[in-house]
Amino acid sequence: MVWMTVLKLVPWGEVVKNAPLVAEGAKKLWDKAGPGAAAAPVPPAAEVPDAGASADAQLAARLAAAEASVAQLHEQMQAASKLIKALAEQDAELVARAQAQRTRMLWLAGGVALAGLMGLVALVAVLTGAR
């Protein structure tokens, strides 16, 4: 019963409005970092074009490939950070609303307890006054 009340207080309009953005971000993140994603290969020394090139040229080619891989990982990290931020903001909103609901429930429970106590006192007064 309490969960139904909490779910009624969730800003479903905001959740629904942001859901496509979160889903799109999750899909992009999964495409980039998921199991089917291909990592940017760093060519070994044997695969560097012009095998007769100097060691410095081979090293430069490998360094360029490593830098490209680092740039791709940086982009994936930024995409993941944006997605995590969006999820964290939604989570914070849900937690704040749940805390507000908890406070309201405590006040309501106190009011019900006070009303019950007053009813019990009134019942005792009526029963003792009738004798």
Is residue 109 included in any domain, yes or no? yes
In this prediction, residue 104 carries a pLDDT of 93
Its domain, for residue 121, covers 10-31+52-129
Is residue 46 included in any domain, yes or no? no
Is residue 39 included in any domain, yes or no? no
Is residue 40 included in any domain, yes or no? no
Is residue 62 included in any domain, yes or no? yes
Domain count, the chain: 1
pLDDT(86) > 70: yes
pLDDT tens for 67-77 read 999 999 988 88
Is residue 26 included in any domain, yes or no? yes
Is residue 37 included in any domain, yes or no? no
Give Cβ neighbours of residue 14 (< 8 Å, ≥ 6 apart). 90, 93
Is residue 44 included in any domain, yes or no? no
Distance CA 10, CA 25 (A): 22
User: DSSP H helical segments within the chain, as ranges?
Assistant: 2-9, 12-33, 55-129
The pTM for the full model equals 0.46
pLDDT tens for 38-81 read 555 555 544 545 556 788 888 999 999 999 999 999 888 888 88
Distance CA 99, CA 37 (A): 40
Q: Are 93 and 11 in contact (CB under 8 A)?
A: yes
